[in-house]
Structure 1
Amino acid sequence: MRSLPERFSVVGKKALVTGASRGLGQTISDVLSAAGADIVAVGRDVAALEETRKIVENNGRKCMTIAADLRAVDAGEKVVAQVTAEWGAIDILVNNAGICISGSLLDFPVDDWDASFNVNLRAAFLFARAVAPGMIAQKSGKIINLSSQISNFAMPDHSAYGASKAALNALTKSMTAEWGAHNIQANAACPTAVWTSMGAEVWSDEAALKKFLGNMPAGRVAQPLEVADVVLFLASAASDMVNGQDVFVDGGYTAL
């Protein structure tokens, strides 16, 4: 049996993280590289991606940065083709990139609805489909889809976000059904509100945040590191028997 440090290690693995230029994606890149992984950091902000590169390299690991707009249908295929040509097959895929556009169902713009699903769901599907052949060939792989606790309960003005994340959870289970036999584990991490720049923007209404936290046993939002550590577990050998699960990191919110 491997030792405890070995079971939670990702030394020598190659991890592709979308939305890696800031916030949760940057913290996930930091944690995975600190645990030994080389990082492919994908995002739209070139300057911010360079900050992620510095963080990863300070952890003694390699970092490839790729600027890409995940709203493009061919983004996943192009990114994975570049990485495969230079580094070989990806061991860990973290579909972290996401957008949250709020608004009432009665007047929610169709373009915003489509954008929510294109980034939160379709991009995850396309990136996973692009990395899967390499994972199948090497008979191992980890796919972690960043979902949300809102995938499991309704919240006013979050219809597109919640629906896209619920669909992402279902997609994760389909990945398990089709790829689990190839020793690929696909799981959805479902955090509560996380105090990133996007989280702060979504929860800028202090009264709404106070009401939200009043229904949470933990009574506070999550910090990026608390979610990134769960991603590390799901990316490591310690989670080899965890597959197709919605892993809630929500301070007990959905338990009530």
Structure 2
Amino acid sequence: MPHSCHRPCLDHFDVNIKAVFNVTQSLLPRLRDGASIVNVSSIASTRSFGGHTAYSATKAALDSLTKSLALELGPRKIRVNSVNPTVVLTKMGADNWSDPAKSGPLLAHIPLNRFCEVQEVVDATGYLLSSKSSFVNGHHILLEGGYAVS
């Protein structure tokens, strides 16, 4: 791993896995039986992208945490799932991926030929938090426009 990765790698770990673990652990005593937890992961948890080693590794760890918590919290009827988008067009996402030289190669692998909109993440999260997904536990909803099948 490049030596310049040290601090950014730790930042990814702190934000993408450690913070989720700590917040979940803190909130668990307050969660009612039957609650639902939705983690925000990424398609990068299952697909490799150049220059994203630490990000991908921490999102894979988050997916593993999601599955483990689903198993452990199931007896309390607490469901744990994640949404796993590609690039989401937040301001930061749009700023970072507006250059066609950067976005073009990724978009070429997405059959819908676009990135994920914020509302699509909100809608999937809302579904997973609702009673409409009452038998969905330990899953990762891919929000990637078909990238995984291309």
Fold similarity call, TM over 0.5 = yes
TM-score w.r.t. structure 1 length? 0.57
**Percent identity over paired residues:** 35
Cα distance in 2 for partners of 1:222, 1:161 equals 18
Indicate which of 93, 97, 121 corresponds to 1:199: 93
In terms of fraction of residues, the more helix-rich structure is 2
In terms of fraction of residues, the more strand-rich structure is 1
Cα distance in 2 for partners of 1:175, 1:235 equals 15
Structure 1: where are the runs of 5+ without partners? 1-104
* RMSD over equivalenced CA pairs, Å: 1.2
Structure (1 or 2) with the larger CA radius of gyration: 1
Query: How far does residue 204 in structure 1 lie from its aligned partner after superposition?
Result: 3.8
Query: How far does residue 234 in structure 1 lie from its aligned partner after superposition?
Result: 0.3
Cα distance in 2 for partners of 1:201, 1:161 equals 18
Cα distance in 1 for partners of 2:82, 2:149 equals 17
Cα distance in 2 for partners of 1:164, 1:192 equals 15
Indicate which of 130, 139, 145 corresponds to 1:245: 139
TM-score w.r.t. structure 2 length? 0.95
Q: Write out the 4+ residue segments of structure 1 that deviate beyond 3 Å after TM superposition.
A: none
Structure 2: where are the runs of 5+ without partners? none
Moved more, 239-248 or 106-115: 106-115
| Aligned twin of 2:40 | 146
SS at match of 2:2: helix
SS at match of 1:109: helix
Indicate which of 20, 23, 26 corresponds to 1:127: 23
Alignment of 1:8-157 (within 5 A): 105-135=1-31, 138-157=32-51
Q: What count of residue pairs does the alignment treat as equivalent?
A: 150
Could you say which structure has the greater relative contact order, defined with CA pairs below 8 angstroms and 6 or more residues apart? Answer: 2
Q: Which amino acid aligns with 2:5?
A: P
